[in-house]
Chains A and B, each alone.
Chain A
Amino acid sequence: MTNRVALVTGAMGGLGTAICRAFAKDGYKVVAAYHPELDKPEEWLAEMRADGFNDFITVAADVSDYESSRAMVAEAEAKAGPIDILVNNAGITRDRFFPKMGRDMWDAVMSTNLNSVFNVTQQVSSKMAARGWGRIINISSVNGVKGQAGQTNYSAAKAGILGFTKALAQELVTKGVTVNAIAPGYISTKMVMAIRDDVRQGIIDGIPMKRFGKPEEIGALCSYLSSDLAGYMTGATLNINGGLHMY
Chain B
Amino acid sequence: MQKVALVTGGMGGLGEAICIKFAALGYKVVATYSPSNSKAQEWLRSMNSMGYGFKAYPCDVVSFDSCKACVEQIVKELGPIDVLVNNAGITRDMTFKKMTKDDWDAVIHTNLDSVFNMTKQVVDGMVERNWGRIINISSVNGQKGAFGQTNYAAAKAGMHGFTKSLALEVAKKGVTVNTISPGYIGTKMVRAIPQEVLDSKILPQIPMSRLGKPEEVAGLVAYLSSQEAAFVNGANISINGGQHMY
* Interface contact B235-A239, CB-CB below 8 Å: yes
Write the chain A residue with the least CB distance to B230.
A217
Give the chain B neighbours of A209 by CB distance below 8 A: 171-172, 231, 233
In the bound complex, do residue A232 and residue B240 qualify as a contact, i.e. CB atoms below 8 Å apart? yes
Given A232-B216, A242-B231: A174 touches B208 (CB 8 Å cut-off) = yes
Asked if B167 and A208 make an inter-chain contact with CB atoms under 8 angstroms apart, the answer reads yes
Chief secondary structure at chain A's binding surface = loop
B103 within 8 A of partner (CB): no
**B167→A170 contact, CB < 8 A:** no
For the complex, what is the distance from the CA of A247 to the CA of B164, rounded to whole Å? 8
Taking a contact as CB atoms under 8 Å apart, the answer to whether B231 and A217 are in contact is yes
A230 with B209: CB separation less than 8 A: no
Interface size class of B (residues with CB under 8 A): 35 or more
- B contact face: mostly helix, strand, loop, or mixed: mixed
Given contacts A173-B208, A234-B208, contact A243 B233 (CB under 8 A): yes
Contact partner of B168 among A166, A174, A208, CB < 8 A? A208
Q: Closest residue of chain B to A223, judged by CB?
A: B228
Contact bitstring A207-226, B, C-beta under 8 A = 1, else 0? 11110011011001100100
Q: Which residues of B contact A214 (CB under 8 A)?
A: 231
Q: How far is the CB of B103 from chain A (nearest CB, A)?
A: 29
Task: Find out whether the CB atom of B220 lies under 8 angstroms from the CB atom of A230.
Answer: yes
Is A169 within 8 A of B223, CB to CB? no
Chain A residues within an 8 Å CB radius of B234: 208, 239, 243, 246
B225-246: contact bitstring with A at CB < 8 Å (1 yes, 0 no)?
A: 0101111111111111110010
Does any Cβ of A come within 8 Å of B219's Cβ? Answer: yes
**Contacting residue for B228 out of A217, A227, A235, A238, CB 8 A:** A217
Q: Which single member of A174, A210, A235, A239 contacts B245 (CB below 8 Å)?
A: A235
Q: How many residues of A contact B (CB 8 A)?
A: 34
Does A192 have its Cβ within 8 Å of any Cβ on chain B? no
Tell me whether A238 and B235 are in contact (CB under 8 A).
yes
**B226 touching A220 by the CB < 8 A rule?**
yes
Q: Does B215 contact A (CB under 8 A)?
A: yes
Which residues of B are in contact with A by a Cβ distance under 8 Å? 163-164, 167-168, 171-172, 183, 207-209, 212-213, 215-216, 218-220, 223, 226, 228-242, 245
Residues on A lying within 8 angstroms of B by beta carbon are 166, 169-170, 173-174, 185, 207-210, 213-214, 216-217, 220-221, 224, 227, 229-236, 238-243, 246-247
Top 8 closest pairs, chain A to chain B, by CB: A229-B219, A220-B228, A208-B171, A235-B245, A246-B234, A173-B207, A213-B231, A232-B212
**17 more A-B residue pairs beyond the given contacts A221-B232, A235-B245, with a C-beta to C-beta distance below 8 A:** A166-B245, A173-B207, A208-B171, A208-B233, A209-B172, A220-B223, A220-B226, A224-B223, A230-B219, A232-B212, A233-B239, A234-B207, A235-B207, A238-B237, A239-B235, A240-B231, A242-B233
